[in-house]
Amino acid sequence: MAPVDPHSYTDSAHPLTTHVSLSLYFDFPSSTIHAAALLNLSSPYTGQLSLDARSLTVHGVLDPQTLAPLPFTLSPPDAVKGSLLSVALDSHASVLILYSTSPDSSALQWLSPPQTFNKTHPFVYTQCQSIHARSVFPCQDTPAARICYSAKLNVPRELSAVMSARHSGRRDPVAGDVSEGFKKVDSAAALNFESLWCGDGRVVEEFVMEQPIPPYLFAFAVGELGSREVGPRTRVYAENVAAVLDSAASEFAGTEDMVRQGEKLFGEYPWERFDLLVLPPSFPYGGMENPRMVFLTPTVIKGDASGAQVVAHELAHSWTGNLITNINNEHFWLNEGFTRYAERRIVEVVQGEERAILSMGIGWRTLNEAMERFKDNMEFTKLKTNQEGIDPDNVYSQVPYEKGFQFLARIERQIGRPAFDEFIKKYIENFKFKSIDTDTFLEFLKANVPGIEKEVDLKLWTEGTGIPPDAYEPVSDLYTTIVSLANEFKLGRMPREDEVANWRGQEWELYLENLPKCVEASQVLALDARYRMSESKDYEVKVAFLQMAISSKCRDYYPEVEKTLKEVGRMKYLRPLYTALVQGSGNEEEKILAKRLFAEARECYHPIAQGVVESILAKHL
């Protein structure tokens, strides 16, 4: 009777779910899914089974064999974990749950036609990491558990569906799809599920996922989708708008190269397909590593190397994260730190060492900034964190990524690359399809690299706060030049045209990241007059510039800030801009602006992003 995860009601004494069959009826006008979930457990159980649920209406829980109702209770929601769905079992090895999602399901963003690229069709997609799968279906929503699944998605005929699973068909709905159980609870729920399911103009898309995944990797998107082939195992999907599909196809043309490189470094690509889905601009992340189909923000399509770096990162998760998974979010660095490291190894081969070092340099900057952000809350500067009562979305930072990267790079420096490469391959082979914690990693490291604990302070790296003294600021001519040019700006010298002639987005990003947060408004204006960063098509550059403009109270740029906050929903951009507006004192005007912008833009953000912006405003207003 012990929790296995601070973010889940899953009980260590209960059998885990091994398979879920879902029937999902998408009702776009009400932004609701009416659904049946059949959960199979690893063994029969007698007693109260604990499941996670969030903003779900449970119509009934049944014994799938007899269709006898099973008693259940749904607790009032905890702010972080959501509700406990407790079902009374008596030697049952499966349960059938009939339920509906709510329009504010935290995983789902329902977009009306005006919020999409094509402007003519609605769109809906999931973002389940870290703890939002429970708002799509009741489950043991912890990465300690792994499930296979099958799913029938009933959608309007003019739309199609994709999932992080194998597509097994598109066909007309038939009455037999609908569980008999539904008819039993229908009258109570006043739904008439069968006639909805078989209604005019509907189609069923079927999927199966035969490889066990943690629930946070469950994913679908439904919309008017199109696709382009870009490689032997890669297609890019997006809304069916030629300009979007074409630019995505050319941006990601090098994907197969990276997959091959990943295979060389980490072993055979284990998920068969590596498709990409480009989402509407409100997608809250840069990318999400849903297996077989990575989800991407359209802001990565800008015709330079950095879009491929995001794909390299999500690809790397195919091994580190999806194959070996952190047992819960307290060990998130095992996912992201390893993936950062693996991403840069791929980038080094396909884009060259210079690009990889630039990426490390940007990482070094962001790690130092993250230390600044958490200076009053040092817990979140650790690799292994205590997240009891903590919402992972609120403490998301670059620490697990960049400190995790630094830790692995430190071990690599100690033992040399060939030995480290061998270690990583062995690590992946040993723990594939398992969920592990930091200690398990350390034990494996010590067993395979004898004496490492005498050379590297493993405890300081994993349990200590701040940046350990043996971390490493990257060096290269380009990196050093950019950092020193940024230092000269502080003394009043702007880079000359010839000095920046070959700079691309990442060079500018690194330059801006190294400028002081707050400078004279006249300097902000002068820099922009020369290099036009406020109009950059590259959001990394534009947002870094606007952040400095806000902190420097250079109000000329507020219309551009407004435009940016209304056109994208990627949290990497929302966080710094809203934070710059509201933090500190003497910025009453900015605080009012932030409140107004959020009120006006809120509807366009994914629910996770809405929550994150709300917590930024709540902290400072």
Helix (H) or strand (E) holding 74: strand 72-74
- 590 annotated ligand binder: no
Q: Min. distance of Cβ 229 from Zn ion in angstroms?
A: 26
Interface with ligand BES (CB under 6 A), residue from 295, 319, 396, 508: 396
With contact defined as beta carbons under 8 Å apart, do 567 and 545 qualify?
Answer: no
Stretch binding ligand BES (CB under 6 A), from 6-14, 249-257, 281-289, 370-378: 281-289
Among the options 25, 401, 479, 605, which is catalytic?
401
Active site residue 314: yes
- E strands, 102-177, are 108-111, 123-126, 147-156, 160-163, 166-171
- 115 annotated ligand binder: no
405 binds ligand BES (CB under 6 A): no
- 286 annotated ligand binder: yes
Nearer to Zn ion, 193 or 396 (CB): 396
Distance of CA 153 to the CA centre of its chain: 23
Among candidates 119, 95, 88, 89, which has minimal Cα distance to 17? 95
Stretch binding ligand BES (CB under 6 A), from 164-172, 231-239, 312-320, 354-362: 312-320
Q: How far apart are CA 55 and CA 50, in angstroms?
A: 16
Distance of CA 127 to the CA centre of its chain: 7
Q: How far apart are CA 349 and CA 312, in angstroms?
A: 11
348 binds, among Zn ion, ligand BES, none (CB under 5 to 8 A by kind): none
231 binds ligand BES (CB under 6 A): no
- The interface with ligand BES within residues 339-378 (CB under 6 A) comprises none
Helix (H, G, I), strand (E, B) or coil at 223: strand
Q: How far apart are CA 332 and CA 241, in angstroms?
A: 36
| ∠ CA 184-190-193, rounded to 5° | 65
Backbone φ and ψ for 198, nearest 5 degrees, come out as -95, 15
For 69, residues 6+ apart whose C-beta sits below 8 A from its C-beta are 60, 61, 62, 63, 184
Nearer to ligand BES, 313 or 384 (CB): 313
Helix (H, G, I), strand (E, B) or coil at 68: coil
Please count the helices (runs of H) and the strands (runs of E) in the chain.
22, 19
- 81 annotated ligand binder: no
- 289 annotated ligand binder: yes
- 139 annotated ligand binder: no
| Unique residue bearing structure tokens 């059998």 | 15
Nearer to ligand BES, 178 or 358 (CB): 358
Stretch binding ligand BES (CB under 6 A), from 180-188, 279-287, 475-483, 505-513: 279-287
Query: What DSSP line would sit under 407-457, residue for residue?
Result: HHHHHHHHH-HHHHHHHHHHHHHHHTTEEE-HHHHHHHHHHHSTTHHHHS-
Among candidates 1, 555, 4, which has minimal Cα distance to 328? 4
Stretch binding ligand BES (CB under 6 A), from 12-20, 285-293, 524-532, 610-618: 285-293
402 binds ligand BES (CB under 6 A): no
For 532, residues 6+ apart whose C-beta sits below 8 A from its C-beta are none
For 202, residues 6+ apart whose C-beta sits below 8 A from its C-beta are 154, 155, 156, 157, 172, 173
Q: Min. distance of Cβ 508 from ligand BES in angstroms?
A: 17
- 128 annotated ligand binder: yes
Stretch binding ligand BES (CB under 6 A), from 74-82, 310-318, 357-365, 583-591: 310-318
Nearer to ligand BES, 523 or 564 (CB): 564
- 258 annotated ligand binder: no
215 binds ligand BES (CB under 6 A): no
Interface with ligand BES (CB under 6 A), residue from 281, 287, 298, 361: 287
391 binds ligand BES (CB under 6 A): no
Q: Min. distance of Cβ 388 from Zn ion in angstroms?
A: 24
Structure tokens at 202: 């509907």
317 binds ligand BES (CB under 6 A): yes
- The interface with Zn ion within residues 315-344 (CB under 5 A) comprises 336, 339
In the stretch 457-486, what mask flags binding to ligand BES with x, by CB under 6 A?
------------------------------
Among candidates 541, 473, 472, which has minimal Cα distance to 507? 541
- 156 annotated ligand binder: no
- 596 annotated ligand binder: no
Stretch binding ligand BES (CB under 6 A), from 195-203, 229-237, 308-316, 538-546: 308-316
Q: How far apart are CA 146 and CA 212, in angstroms?
A: 5
Nearer to ligand BES, 207 or 295 (CB): 295
Amino acid type, 154? N
Active site residue 603: no
Nearer to ligand BES, 235 or 606 (CB): 606
For 47, residues 6+ apart whose C-beta sits below 8 A from its C-beta are 14, 88, 89
Q: Min. distance of Cβ 51 from ligand BES in angstroms?
A: 21
313 binds ligand BES (CB under 6 A): yes
Q: Min. distance of Cβ 95 from ligand BES in angstroms?
A: 28
Nearer to Zn ion, 336 or 348 (CB): 336
Among the options 205, 206, 314, 330, which is catalytic?
314
CA distances in angstroms from 22 to 14, 165, 205, 270, listed in the order given: 22, 13, 12, 24
Nearer to ligand BES, 129 or 160 (CB): 129
For 105, residues 6+ apart whose C-beta sits below 8 A from its C-beta are 33, 54, 55, 56, 132, 135, 136, 607
Nearer to ligand BES, 285 or 489 (CB): 285
130 binds ligand BES (CB under 6 A): yes
247 binds ligand BES (CB under 6 A): no
Q: What is the DSSP letter of 587?
A: -
By annotation, the residues acting in catalysis are: 314, 401
Give the residue ranges of the annotated binding site for Zn(2+).
313, 317, 336
Q: Binding-site residues, please?
A: 127-129, 284-289, 313, 317, 336, 570-572
Residues that bind Zn ion (CB under 5 A): 336, 339
Which residues make up the interface to ligand BES (CB under 6 A)? 129-130, 285-289, 310, 313-314, 317, 336, 396, 572
